[in-house]
Chains A and B, each alone.
Chain A
């Protein structure tokens, strides 16, 4: 029997380097990259790199051999080769100026069809939903792009169309759960069929020319090519799940025949669709309102009271509350406020919204409407204000959604300094530090009392200060009065009856001595008795004070000694864990410390400001009194 050679079996044959893969597929690196992106093939990390690389220890890009063999059977490999042929032939036509042939050839441009790849990469619809995060984030970015060399206009238009469609679905299904304004963009999280889908919409205007080393638009464009197809199919299924017509259309009631609409119907409709402000055409004509949800609740009630079920029930209740959060409210968005994110929020939670018709098509009422309850404003002041509505800053809407309740608007009034905007995504397990604002949200009673006590103490301090000030004032007045009196006395008075009482205390002293002498005799007896009694009596025990610090130290020492008994094979892991824990604690400590110093300095500033104001007031009062005198 032949002796097996090294690297002829096992891990070495499971992996294939990129170079070998290219040779096997007979593709250029660019084509291979395109293929990998479209097919979702990625390099693998072998268990033993050295073995997988047949003994060499440098780090190579390794693919699974089966993946490469899988690519070999892909039909778009042929299309990629056709591209090459096409480029060669059309270049030839161009060179010899055979434009007729060239035109014919251009019409026959080989197109890649990706439908089967979507199906193959996402065997179930849920899989597709799970992978929607990157897709949406990238498409939302591309939908803002101008026409570039590597990104054709059509692609970014398609991105825009698909993302708008997706937003329509989110609004119609009311599946939005969390929102967050970050410095990078708006984070949205929706729950679609039990899957949490998170995407980012960048702040306007994200495109900037980039150097080739920084960003390669070609690669991103290939991703987008696949993602558009994927999102299209996903949208199709999502729309059909809600009995909405796809591609989205409006019911005839929305589209009144006006001059504007008749002129260019397609663009009119697409504008209205982009406005996200109208209900879409339904295919079933029946409005069913959240029956599904109620059934769920009932089922849960039947199930009993295990902890998980209670939690689920609470969650369901919260969600149902969230779905009707803005019901009955009427918003108006001022022109300086980013329209789209707010429209999504308000509409998906049941509110009505409009904006100035000059910003974007699709506004339903104008600013003068008296029934508007909230106007979203992002400027320091506004000239004409209606009494009937609240002028709030956009953060209010976001915070309301995250809190799942309508917050009091006073902190968010126009021109107010906003309270911090907290992330709804923070896992309490991940971060040990919880800022006081979040604590307040978790337990409102806690912060209120705290604030009250704070105020109380401040009030007291104020009172004291007031008193001192008053005292000074009083003193000054008394001084005045006294001076006046003495002046009067000098004028009129003689020394009458001043020393009358001086002799009395001496008499008293003598009396006391006598009494004491009598008492002493009695005392001796009583003392003895008392002593005896004391001997018999139980003395009150002294409280043994435990030095908390020492106890703590002892505990820590003990724990340290025990930690030294960790098994040798776990020692490194243990150390790593401890180090991680320590850094986390340090971070937390640092944040806490910073917060404390900030608060202290703020308080100090507030105090000094108040004190100064009061002093001024006092000075003014003094002046006034002087003037009066």
Chain B
């Protein structure tokens, strides 16, 4: 290959000279051509590549001619190369294509001419003609140039590019590719783009044997010999095809041992006497081996073998003895893994296998496997041989290893108690009878929610006030409505006077507080009450302006008198609640909107009102008289204040820690207070004990509306928006050291739900363990 390239270079190199010569003289031209021939001949001898060379040479000559006709020197090299590749040239250049096709014809003509010429005067320079008469050519060559025949051309190899052995990509950015012998730039042949390349590939049948010369940038077409050579090299054969591999071996030196030695000198003594120094060395080694200083390789190997691997011995002398040594501080042993259950069996009972739903759920929790019910999917195999290796086994062991060295450990007391244990030990409700257990009567008649209920002190009648603007009086035993008193506005609260010698009901409706004589029961009593309320006592005390603007007392109008209303106390704001003092002379009203005048105390006998507080301490929700002492309980939203009415001072403030108080009830003995709140709680205050609740009960599931203590029995009831009335046992002992006993007894849930409201009010029968409840479903129910 290199030879060939060099050869080409030579040809090109010679051309400028040719050109010059051609322009001047023909005779010189001849000499030059001889030079050329000489260069050509050498490779011809090496690789017997006659044809290519001849062609090239021939084309050279033709090119010359053509060149003379049209172009300048710079172009020359390229032209020549292209013509050298005769067949492919047409596709190579765009503009010159036509020319060249025409040129080729010319060339052929020229060839003929040149052949003629060559046959005449220069037979050595034959192109295609060499095929016709190679022998003549050779002989000619021999004769013409005998002196070059044995010359080794490798030294004189003609180098057209003088840059030397450098990476040719250094010239990538330049137009030229190097310098020729005259230090002129060798211009790069124009590079066709990829389309050209592709077209050439398609059109040119010799494309596969075309390579680019990196030194000159020219395309070189490989000859058949070149290809044969390459093939031989690739297939791993000896490149030279003339080389004979299986030549007969010529034995230059004989292998046979002669019977008689050629030289007749006897062996030296050294060659058969043992060496003394070696003997000494061996004896030393033997001694070392004997003494055990040195070991044989076998012994060394055995020792190594023995050394390898751990040695075990009796590490612990006894089972339980403990040697004192430094150890890890306060060791916490890792908990053992859970032992498998039935579900992990290879053949579990059928109920442990997942059904479709469970499988789906199990697969769904792929990202959070800790939430899965089981960490594996139970499987059933018909026999042991079908059980495969568990796919996550390695992973599980690895996780256990991680747990052992990476999981933080701490000693924790594991609480192993039953939930029942946390429920306080209370006596059974069966032992705490009597208490209401069943609904025995429903009082129907109201058309809207019943806000309030109150029972006559003797326990025969019942009064209820409702949002349908009526007050109804019922006979408890029969459930008959005896009387209906219509009012102008919604009845917020009714309260039967606790004094059995009076038959008065206080009815809070709108701004007015009506004192009604129900006209039921003992006729003497009714008459007496009527007489009492008939006329106002003489007012000797002048009331202050503050009270006057808040309250006016007046006798009822005639039409109202007929209904039973006797006295009307008109307030300046709507009344929310009314409550009687135990004796039945005083009653208190609450007007939440009344700011600092929201709580009022009225005295019936003197028809006089008082405003106990000059300052408002919050939105007053509920007021209550102490049953025994002259005390007054005022519940604001969050707290309860107890005032001494005689001393006119604050006695105590109870902290409820709740959002909104809804109602209160005081134990008949006066030491315990029950508070209901809208945040589902009931608070039991022991007034002697603390200002904080003794017990907080969350019996209801919704806002608690009202609570009530029974006057005789140790019972209390609560009504809530969850439609339930819960009856509880609330025993207060005379022994001060014993805490009150609170036991929830019975949940009575028969009221219906209306607009989020359930039970609005509860009240006890004064004698019997019966409880009345009013509900948003416009009924009153009696539980006995």
Taking the nearest CB of chain A, how far is it from the CB of B666, in angstroms?
22
Q: In B233-250, which residues have CB < 8 Å from any A CB?
A: none
User: Which A residue sits closest to B373, measured CB to CB?
Assistant: A587
B408 touches A44 (CB 8 A): yes
- B322 to chain A: which residues have CB within 8 Å? 123-124
A573 touches B422 (CB 8 A): yes
B312 touches A123 (CB 8 A): no
- A337 to chain B: which residues have CB within 8 Å? 384-385
User: Which A residue sits closest to B308, measured CB to CB?
Assistant: A154
Q: In B404-423, which residues have CB < 8 Å from any A CB?
A: 404-410, 415, 417-419, 422-423
A: number of interface residues (CB 8 Å): 116
A126 touches B429 (CB 8 A): no
Please judge, given known A-B contacts A183-B376, A420-B345, A574-B422, whether A198 and B328 are in contact too, CB under 8 Å: no
Q: Tell yes or no: B190 within 8 A of A by CB.
A: no
Q: Tell yes or no: A78 within 8 A of B by CB.
A: no
Taking the nearest CB of chain A, how far is it from the CB of B401, in angstroms?
5
Distance in angstroms between the alpha carbons of A393 and B384 in the assembled complex? 8
Distance in angstroms between the alpha carbons of A268 and B271 in the assembled complex? 51
- B329 to chain A: which residues have CB within 8 Å? 64, 66-67, 70
A423 touches B340 (CB 8 A): yes
Q: Tell yes or no: A240 within 8 A of B by CB.
A: yes
Per-residue contact bits, chain B 717-745, to A (CB 8 Å; 1 contact, 0 not): 00000000010000000000000001111
Please judge, given known A-B contacts A202-B390, A578-B419, whether A558 and B429 are in contact too, CB under 8 Å: yes
Distance in angstroms between the alpha carbons of A587 and B415 in the assembled complex? 22
Q: Tell yes or no: A175 within 8 A of B by CB.
A: no
Per-residue contact bits, chain B 352-395, to A (CB 8 Å; 1 contact, 0 not): 10010000000000000000010010110111110111110111
B389 touches A561 (CB 8 A): no
User: Which A residue sits closest to B320, measured CB to CB?
Assistant: A124
B390 touches A45 (CB 8 A): no
- A578 to chain B: which residues have CB within 8 Å? 419
- B341 to chain A: which residues have CB within 8 Å? 423, 425-426, 431
B337 touches A123 (CB 8 A): no
Q: In B202-258, which residues have CB < 8 Å from any A CB?
A: none
A338 touches B337 (CB 8 A): no
A119 touches B390 (CB 8 A): no
A237 touches B384 (CB 8 A): no
Among the stretches A35-43, A250-258, A361-369, the one at the interface with B is: A35-43
User: Which A residue sits closest to B437, measured CB to CB?
Assistant: A554
The answer, among B320, B344, B423, for a CB contact under 8 Å with A423, is: B344
B314 touches A237 (CB 8 A): yes
Per-residue contact bits, chain A 27-60, to B (CB 8 Å; 1 contact, 0 not): 0000001001101111111110000000000000
Q: In A363-411, which residues have CB < 8 Å from any B CB?
A: 378-379, 393-395
- B743 to chain A: which residues have CB within 8 Å? 565
- A41 to chain B: which residues have CB within 8 Å? 328, 405
User: Which B residue sits closest to A209, measured CB to CB?
Assistant: B394
- A115 to chain B: which residues have CB within 8 Å? 315
Q: Tell yes or no: B16 within 8 A of A by CB.
A: no
User: Which A residue sits closest to B749, measured CB to CB?
Assistant: A557
- A62 to chain B: which residues have CB within 8 Å? 408
Please judge, given known A-B contacts A124-B322, A564-B697, whether A437 and B339 are in contact too, CB under 8 Å: no
Among the stretches A298-306, A466-474, A479-487, A591-599, the one at the interface with B is: A591-599
Q: Tell yes or no: A489 within 8 A of B by CB.
A: no
Per-residue contact bits, chain B 492-508, to A (CB 8 Å; 1 contact, 0 not): 00000000000000000
Among the stretches A227-235, A445-453, A510-518, the one at the interface with B is: A227-235
Q: Tell yes or no: B269 within 8 A of A by CB.
A: no
B345 touches A125 (CB 8 A): no
Q: Tell yes or no: A533 within 8 A of B by CB.
A: no
Please judge, given known A-B contacts A206-B394, A566-B424, whether A233 and B312 are in contact too, CB under 8 Å: yes
Per-residue contact bits, chain A 134-162, to B (CB 8 Å; 1 contact, 0 not): 10011001000000000000100010000
Q: Tell yes or no: A562 within 8 A of B by CB.
A: yes
Taking the nearest CB of chain B, how far is it from the CB of A137, in angstroms?
7
Please judge, given known A-B contacts A41-B328, A184-B393, whether A598 and B350 are in contact too, CB under 8 Å: yes
Per-residue contact bits, chain A 67-100, to B (CB 8 Å; 1 contact, 0 not): 1001001000000000000000000000000000
Q: Tell yes or no: B67 within 8 A of A by CB.
A: no
Q: Tell yes or no: A418 within 8 A of B by CB.
A: yes
The answer, among B312, B339, B345, for a CB contact under 8 Å with A421, is: B345
- B333 to chain A: which residues have CB within 8 Å? 130-131
Q: Tell yes or no: A172 within 8 A of B by CB.
A: no
A207 touches B394 (CB 8 A): yes
Distance in angstroms between the alpha carbons of A40 and B330 in the assembled complex? 12
Q: Tell yes or no: A6 within 8 A of B by CB.
A: no
A573 touches B415 (CB 8 A): yes
Taking the nearest CB of chain A, how far is it from the CB of B227, in angstroms?
45
B351 touches A193 (CB 8 A): no
Distance in angstroms between the alpha carbons of A435 and B619 in the assembled complex? 63
Q: Tell yes or no: A223 within 8 A of B by CB.
A: yes
Q: Tell yes or no: A208 within 8 A of B by CB.
A: yes
B340 touches A180 (CB 8 A): yes
Q: Tell yes or no: B293 within 8 A of A by CB.
A: no
Q: Tell yes or no: A492 within 8 A of B by CB.
A: no
Q: Tell yes or no: B604 within 8 A of A by CB.
A: no
The answer, among A36, A119, A125, for a CB contact under 8 Å with B320, is: A125
- B699 to chain A: which residues have CB within 8 Å? 561, 564
B351 touches A598 (CB 8 A): yes
- A64 to chain B: which residues have CB within 8 Å? 329-330
Distance in angstroms between the alpha carbons of A141 and B393 in the assembled complex? 9
A562 touches B744 (CB 8 A): yes
Distance in angstroms between the alpha carbons of A94 and B336 in the assembled complex? 47
- B696 to chain A: which residues have CB within 8 Å? 568
- B405 to chain A: which residues have CB within 8 Å? 33, 36-37, 41-42, 219, 223
A562 touches B336 (CB 8 A): no
Q: Tell yes or no: A236 within 8 A of B by CB.
A: yes
Taking the nearest CB of chain B, how far is it from the CB of A49, in angstroms?
10
A126 touches B319 (CB 8 A): yes
Please judge, given known A-B contacts A422-B345, A437-B349, whether A158 and B309 are in contact too, CB under 8 Å: yes
Taking the nearest CB of chain A, how far is it from the CB of B748, in angstroms?
10
Q: In A185-204, which residues have CB < 8 Å from any B CB?
A: 185, 187, 193, 198, 202-204
The answer, among B352, B394, B400, for a CB contact under 8 Å with A208, is: B394
Distance in angstroms between the alpha carbons of A40 and B385 in the assembled complex? 39
- B390 to chain A: which residues have CB within 8 Å? 183-185, 202-203, 206
User: Which B residue sits closest to A587, measured CB to CB?
Assistant: B373
Among the stretches A210-218, A318-326, A498-506, the one at the interface with B is: A210-218
A61 touches B408 (CB 8 A): yes
- B310 to chain A: which residues have CB within 8 Å? 114, 158, 228-229, 232
The answer, among A183, A236, A393, A436, for a CB contact under 8 Å with B379, is: A183
Distance in angstroms between the alpha carbons of A62 and B410 in the assembled complex? 12
Distance in angstroms between the alpha carbons of A64 and B321 in the assembled complex? 27
Counting chain A CB atoms within 10 Å of each CB, the highest count among B388, B400, B423 belongs to B423
- B384 to chain A: which residues have CB within 8 Å? 181, 337-338, 378, 393-395
Distance in angstroms between the alpha carbons of A64 and B332 in the assembled complex? 12
Distance in angstroms between the alpha carbons of A544 and B312 in the assembled complex? 81
A594 touches B355 (CB 8 A): yes
The answer, among A61, A124, A431, for a CB contact under 8 Å with B406, is: A61
Q: In B76-100, which residues have CB < 8 Å from any A CB?
A: none
B312 touches A203 (CB 8 A): no
Q: Tell yes or no: B318 within 8 A of A by CB.
A: yes
The answer, among B332, B385, B388, for a CB contact under 8 Å with A379, is: B385
Please judge, given known A-B contacts A336-B385, A570-B422, whether A125 and B406 are in contact too, CB under 8 Å: no
Q: In B272-331, which residues have CB < 8 Å from any A CB?
A: 308-310, 312-316, 318-323, 325-331
B350 touches A202 (CB 8 A): no
8 A-B residue contacts at CB 8 Å?
A42-B405, A70-B328, A118-B315, A206-B394, A240-B314, A425-B341, A565-B424, A577-B418
Instruction: List 7 additional A-B contacts (Cβ < 8 Å) besides A567-B424, A595-B350.
Output: A187-B340, A246-B312, A337-B385, A417-B382, A423-B344, A562-B424, A564-B698
Nearest 10 interchain pairs by C-beta? A425-B339, A45-B410, A66-B329, A577-B419, A595-B351, A45-B408, A125-B316, A594-B351, A561-B744, A43-B408
